[in-house]
Amino acid sequence: MTVQFKKKTLGRGIEWCDETRNPIGGCVHGCQWLMPDGTIAECYAENLAEHGVAKAGYPHGFEHHYWRPKELKNLGAGKTPRIIFSGSMSDMYAHAVPPEQVRAVLDAMRGAPHHSYLTLTKAAPQLLKYTDRMPPNLWVGVSSPPDWFLGKRLSRQQQIAMLRKSMEVLTEIKKRTGNIVWLSAEPLSWDVTNVIGDDHPLDWCVIGAASNGKKYYQPEVGDVANLLRVMDESRTPVFFKGNLNPLINENASLGRWREDFPLCYRDGSQIPAVVERQKRCDALGWTRISLPLV
């Protein structure tokens, strides 16, 4: 369990969640991104596992699969509702993860309905194997395609096909389960709006800059503006990663700073973890805007 807001330093870590909890660790996807200056950035989780603070927990390297069943109890711990990212150090839906482990994680999430659990995957078709086990407090997310995946450089057409498939899968999940579905465009490195389309299924969208260690590369203003237009026309809440600050501050045309969340589930009931998050926003001076699902 890692808390994402540090009271002493005021550091926020992954700003769009309160904590990360990871019963599953490791990933074989080998994602990499080409930076505008020609350097290549590796997955932040891989860097943490092999060179950073998480190294002790990954003695066999990041490509090894780690199953920590004792963490299932911790997944539902705590009475105060929290927004919990489960999978910050893995892709729990990847082909290499045994289905019984995925189902065990989903069952543990179901046992703590006051929390909201967020997952991300780059293996979107795998999600359809688990729709019958997805608890209603799970926000099902997909990541924008990387530049390298499973050891291969992806062409733009391959990235487009991957993102289009992800949108099709989220549409099906929304139809089958009614769960919140979302996109992490971190980084937003090309105009994804033609793929997402005006009739997209998204209930939430996170936008971030490209990063290589502590160095950040801002997306094109037009790419952000286009994505915001599509999200605004569908009244879909958008969350800006903190690394977008320079771009937003220097381009008034992009409007206000956004840290929006879905406020309610599809049945109209409030999301306890978001209500609690709003209290923290008021106490700490964070942006306090949320929108109901449509």
Query: How far is it between the farthest Cα atoms of the chain?
Result: 49
State how far the alpha carbon of 43 is from the alpha carbons of 75, 122, 126, 291, in Å: 24, 12, 21, 31
Cβ 245 vs Cβ 267: under 8 Å: no
Query: How confident is the model at residue 263, as a pLDDT?
Result: 92
Query: How confident is the model at residue 287, as a pLDDT?
Result: 86
Which H or E run includes 3?
strand 2-3
Query: How confident is the model at residue 294, as a pLDDT?
Result: 53
Rounded CA separation 136/134 (Å): 7
Rounded CA separation 264/266 (Å): 6
| More confident call, 45 vs 290 | 45
In single-letter form, the type of residue at position 194 comes to N
Judged against a pLDDT cut of 80, whether residue 291 lies above it is answered with no
Residue among 167, 179, 46 nearest 109 (CA): 179
Counting every residue, how long is the chain? Answer: 294
Q: Torsions phi, psi of 92, nearest 5?
A: -70, -15
Query: How confident is the model at residue 122, as a pLDDT?
Result: 97
What average pLDDT does this structure show over 216-225?
Answer: 97
pLDDT band at 5 (very low <50, low <70, confident <90, very high): confident
Query: How confident is the model at residue 6, as a pLDDT?
Result: 80
| More confident call, 6 vs 65 | 65
Number of domains the chain contains:
1
What average pLDDT does this structure show over 249-261?
Answer: 96
Cβ 254 vs Cβ 246: under 8 Å: no
Residue among 168, 170, 163 nearest 227 (CA): 163
- CATH code assigned at 227: 3.20.20
**What digits encode the pLDDT tens for the residues 184-219?**
999 999 999 999 999 999 999 999 999 998 899 999
Query: How confident is the model at residue 9, as a pLDDT?
Result: 82
Which H or E run includes 119?
strand 116-121
**What digits encode the pLDDT tens for the residues 40-81?**
999 999 999 999 989 999 999 999 999 999 999 999 999 999
User: Three-state SS for 118?
Assistant: strand
Q: Provide the mean pLDDT of the chain.
A: 95
Q: How many other C-beta atoms lie within 10 A of the C-beta of residue 167?
A: 21
pLDDT band at 292 (very low <50, low <70, confident <90, very high): low
**What digits encode the pLDDT tens for the residues 101-130?**
999 999 999 999 999 999 999 999 999 999
Look up the domain containing 112 and give its range.
Answer: 2-291
pLDDT band at 8 (very low <50, low <70, confident <90, very high): confident
Which H or E run includes 159?
helix 156-177
Rounded CA separation 26/222 (Å): 35
Q: Torsions phi, psi of 132, nearest 5?
A: -75, -10
Query: How confident is the model at residue 88, as a pLDDT?
Result: 95
Query: How confident is the model at residue 60, as a pLDDT?
Result: 96
